[in-house]
Amino acid sequence: MSLILIHSERFAEHQTPPGHPERPERAEVLDAVAARWRSHGTEIIAPRAATREQLLRVHDADYVRRISETTGRATQLDPDTYTSPESYDIALLAAGACVDAVERVMGASHRAAYALVRPPGHHAERARAMGFCLFNNVAVAAAHARAMGAAKVAIVDFDVHHGNGTQHIFDSDPHVLYISLHQFPYYPGTGAAEEIGREAGRGFTVNVPLEVGAVDDDYQLAFRRIVVPVLRQFEPSLLIVSAGFDAHEHDPLGGMRVTTPAFGAMTAELRGVADECCRGRLVAAVEGGYDLQALAASLDQSIERLSENAAPAAWPTSGIASSRGQATVAELRPLLAPFWTI
Ligand SMILES: [Zn+2]
């Protein structure tokens, strides 16, 4: 009952055009982080490819076929999403890694599993590639957990971008809670506080939009006042984390000022909830993070907080005055009051 990492050296085979932020060098960061944890005695396994049946729980058959047809050639799927000849196979491995992570944790062979994957997944819609993403890795994982019998699955997404795909795939489903903290307004344009889910899923989408420039203290406030209380009340059977590191202060895409230790603190907060609600069952999957050094250091901190004897959450104090977190909490209170006590 410990932590397992799921990683493949093949993730570098998904190639993007020169200058693209989601570049194969990100896979070298994942390789180096995996190698370091292996040397510390952490178990690491290679993923299997996701099956068609697993993908079709969250993607349209036509869409899966379209992506499969990119095999062997380079294509552009949207203004910033590309495939190389191997991308379909690699995207299957990324989604499959998340399925493997769920199987380990739901099968109780491991308490937590971290999928060190690329390409990322949270922008991928049911029938549309977007924002560097081909298949929605965490959505595939959540659907697999439900198919394995998980009554309720919570997804927390701290990537700097809103996970439009994940939100839309589950927005009418009360069994899958989606909580996203993200820079707003920003790409992809979704993720306003008012987006709370629809039909039976009303209240089970919780967006925490933060103004550009948010610091560690803003994130801490959002976690303590919104994210953790909602998770405790939802009582998930499994917690899945869309772990993007592009809210880092050095990230070239994001405009936030989150420091490396805060990514450890966020992960520790989530581990604490998983320990309380679901015997520690937590699956994390890498999303964005485009400064290679920041990605390496922040991912390392995040993994550290899921290892055996990790300390509880200790937030760094930013020392920068910011009221962004307070403003967001105040905005969310009346919107979430019908559904959650916060
Ligand atoms: Zn991102």
User: Contact at 8 Å (CB) between 47 and 8?
Assistant: yes
Q: Specify the residue for token string 């979704």.
A: 190
Q: What is the mean pLDDT of the chain?
A: 97
Dihedral of the alpha carbons of 256, 257, 262, 264, in degrees to the nearest 10:
60
**Is this model's pTM higher than 0.85 or not?**
yes
Cα 108 to ligand 1 centroid, rounded to whole Å: 30
- pLDDT at residue 211 greater than cutoff 70: yes
CA angle, 132 then 138 then 144, to 5°: 140
Cα 169 to ligand 1 centroid, rounded to whole Å: 18
**pLDDT tens-digit map of 19-37:** 999 999 999 999 999 999 9
- pLDDT at residue 159 greater than cutoff 90: yes
Q: Which residues are catalytic?
A: 123
pLDDT of residue 1: 60
Residue 310 pLDDT class (50, 70, 90 cuts): confident
Cα 92 to ligand 1 centroid, rounded to whole Å: 20
Q: What is the 3-state secondary structure (H, E, C) of 177-231?
A: EEEEEEECCCCCCCCCCCCCCCHHHCCCEEEEEECCCCEHHHHHHHHHHHHHHHH
Find the mean pLDDT for residues 316-327. 94
User: Contact at 8 Å (CB) between 120 and 81?
Assistant: no
